Amino acid sequence: EMSRSFPPAVDVAIVGSGPNGAAYARVLSERAPGATIAVFEVGPALTDPPGLHVKNIADLDERLVAQRRSEGLRPHTATKEEAAYTDPTKRVVRAGTHLLPDGFQQPGEDGIPALAMSSNVGGMGAHWTCACPRPGDAERPDFLPDLDELLDDAERLLGVSRDPFGSAPYSDVVRERLGAEFDPGRRAERRVRSMPLAVHVRDDGALVWSGADVVFGEETRANPAATLFPEAQVRRVLVEDGRAVGVVVHDRRDGSDHEVRARFVVVAADALRTPQLLFASGVRPPALGRYLNDQPQMVFAVRLRDVARTPEAEHDPRGDTAIVQQSGVSWVPYTDEDPFHGQVMQLDASPVPIVGDDVPAPGTVVGLGWFCGKDLQASDRVEFDDTATDDYGMPKPRIHYTLTGQDRETFARARDSIRRAAAALGDPLGDEPFVLPSGASLHYQGTTRMGAVDDGTSVCGPTSEVWGVAGLYVAGNNVIPTPMACNPTLTSVALAIGGARDIADRLTADPSAVSAESGGHAVPA
Ligand code: FAD
């Protein structure tokens, strides 16, 4: 079979096809029409259109296959009886994700045992829960004057609905009870409310979950200058004279390597593999891999007290292929006074195990998940090896991670808070909130973080361009510099939009150079 051809040169090379890589492709398609864009993704395309959320695949077997194909070189999802979350003592692994096989914990440290990634077109965005809260108080970077407008645009790209389950039979009850408990003393913007979700309800009532397909949008799919390359791993960013000038792509279909020149390179390859690619490319600013930040998480479940039993509420959600809506998803926002993010959702939508063998009465059991802001430290980091390689031939990662005294204090306060929430709602199932192993949040941040100035504590500036390497941009939750406790995707996509606009401005300011680069060639493997 003939080798696939890769373009010798493009205007913008994007590494990674999750929501953040897709956001760059979308904004560039909108703002710099004619600019050539190549999106490289190490994993396979699961769906047509590419990047669909797998929960939209109605056939369960097809969905399991799609999840398995997202799990890299050591897949685990095999059967309908997939066992994620059944044994809380084991490393948690979610369908559609694969764990870092080793190096996740060093002797004497806490480590991040459940550190996971997804390797497929759409990234984790083909598997996520779609919660899209806005950051507040200390969760917000304080040096971005246009953050709110960027968040508005991120909601547009992700297709966020403010209250998609507004008519759920128990949603009012849940919110009223939580509001009575938590709202006194809070600013309006930080009161209990429905969780905004990247979900819309189709005319026939079915739910459609946003994946990278929604972020790419028709604007990207109809753009003849934009191309997606699945099973195409970027192994190196080419840097010459302090500028990114292209990438080396490894075709995982036939093992061949190709050089693709580019005027701009965007690395949106998740919080582990973005710093890995920079390291492999010799781009090693002092903050690279540091301030690694996984939100400590605890969960609890409660049976709603004194609720009317409507016919919808009696519907048994177990075995449904889509989320059911009995109690919607409610949000207890983070505040500086209470630095945790609470989400309360009907169990089928929640990454929470049903406690013990208590069989919930349909619709009346809700899961509570409380995420904490981490006490950030430079010593929490992913380190890479100059000689040893991982399964994908890239510098092998090693995690250093320790919870601090302040983290333990925050955790104790979160435990009180989740107990208060449970008591307000009904009768807790189980005595104690359950602490999930580190990494279960799937919200890793900080490893290529953004800063206002180049003082050694950040990797990129306010437009996401890497300090000291012109034309190299980083994207993803790894760019978020704050101890964010809420689900980070809306924020990372907002920051990506800012970076993509910057590239679009630079491309359109110098249109003569668009597509005028010369000279890539296939390099021998
Ligand atoms: P990813 O989606 O991880 O995409 C990165 C892509 O880069 C991957 O496809 C990867 O294969 C590719 N890649 C890596 N290295 C290379 C390389 N060298 N060459 C080419 N390609 C490469 N977030 C929320 O905000 N709300 C939620 O409710 C939520 N729930 C979640 C539930 C689950 C089960 C999971 C798994 C995640 C959840 N998340 C949630 C997290 C959310 O999915 C991520 O924040 C989001 O996907 C990050 O987008 P990204 O584009 O930065 O990275």
Nearest to 260 by CA among 268, 248, 250, 269: 248
Q: Which of 209, 265, 270 to mutate to test the pocket of ligand 1 (most atoms within 8 A of CB)?
A: 270
Whole-number Å distance, alpha carbon 124 to ligand 1 midpoint, is: 3
Cα separation, 273 vs 395, in Å, equals 10
> 364-374: per-residue pLDDT in tens?
788 899 999 99
Give how far Cα 72 sits from Cα of 27, 57, 99, 118, 344, Å.
29, 20, 9, 7, 31
Segment among 119-123, 200-204, 461-465 with least mean pLDDT: 200-204
Res. 207 pLDDT band, cuts 50 70 90: confident
130 CA distance to ligand 1 centroid (A)? 12
Which position has the higher pLDDT, 206 or 322? 206
Which atom in ligand 1 lies closest to the alpha carbon of residue 273?
15
Q: Is the pLDDT of residue 98 over 70?
A: yes
Residue 443 is among the residues annotated as catalytic for this protein: yes
CA dist list (Å): 353 to 26, 293, 298: 36, 24, 11
Distance 310 CA to ligand 1 centre (A): 38
Residues in the chain: 525
Most distant CA pair in the chain: distance in Å? 71
Integer Cα distance of 274 and 257 in angstroms: 20
Task: Kindly give, in sequence order, each residue whose CB lies less than 8 Å from that of residue 479, ignoring residues fewer than 6 positions away.
Answer: 448, 449, 450, 460, 464, 492, 495, 496
Label the pairing between strands 37-40 and 226-229: parallel
Mean pLDDT of the 451-469 span: 98
- Nearest atom (ligand 1) to Cα of 476: 52
pLDDT-derived band at 172, boundaries 50, 70, 90: confident
Ligand 1: which residue has its CA nearest to atom 12?
16
Is the complex ipTM more than 0.90? yes
- Residue 170 pLDDT class (50, 70, 90 cuts): confident
Residue 314 has pLDDT above 60, yes or no: no
Atom of ligand 1 nearest to the CA of 489: 25
How far is it, in rounded angstroms, from Cα 294 to Cα 380? 10
pLDDT class of 93 with cuts at 50, 70, 90: confident
Q: Classify 238 in phi/psi space as left (phi over 0), alpha (psi -120 to 50) or beta.
A: beta
With pLDDT > 70 as the criterion, what percentage of the chain qualifies?
A: 87
What tokens does 456 get?
């050694």
Comma-separated ranges of CATH 3.50.50.60 domains in the chain: 11-72+116-161+210-291+446-516
Cβ-based neighbour number of residue 434 at 10 Å: 15
Give every CB contact of residue 70 below 8 A, 6+ residues apart in sequence: 43, 46, 54, 96, 97, 98, 118, 119, 120, 126, 127
252-288: pLDDT as tens digits: 999 999 999 999 999 999 999 999 999 999 999 999 9
Mean pLDDT score across all residues of the chain: 89
> Which pLDDT tens digit goes with each residue over 472-511?
999 999 999 999 999 999 999 999 999 999 999 999 998 6
Residue 412 has pLDDT above 70, yes or no: yes
pLDDT tens digits along 176-192: 999 999 999 999 999 99
Nearest CA to ligand 1 atom 37: 128
Considering the candidates 127, 250, 341, 443, report the single residue annotated as catalytic: 443
Q: Is the peptide bond before 49 cis (omega within 30 degrees of 0)?
A: yes
451 CA from centroid of ligand 1 (Å)? 22
Helices 405-425, 171-182: crossing angle, 10 deg rounding? 130
Cα–ligand 1 centroid distance for 41 (angstroms): 12
Q: How is residue 411 written in tokens?
A: 């955790």
| Ligand 1, atom nearest to 496 Cα | 52
DSSP codes, 435-483: EPPTTTT---B-TT-B-SS-SSS-SB-TTSBBTT-BTEEE-SGGG--S-
pLDDT digits (tens, 9 = 90+) for 337-365: 999 999 998 655 444 444 444 444 456 78
pLDDT at 238: 98
Class of the CATH domain delimited by 11-72+116-161+210-291+446-516: alpha beta
Q: Pocket residues for ligand 1 (CB within 6 Å)? A: 15-21, 40-43, 94, 97, 118-120, 123-125, 127-131, 233-234, 268-270, 273, 277, 442-443, 476-477, 487-489, 492
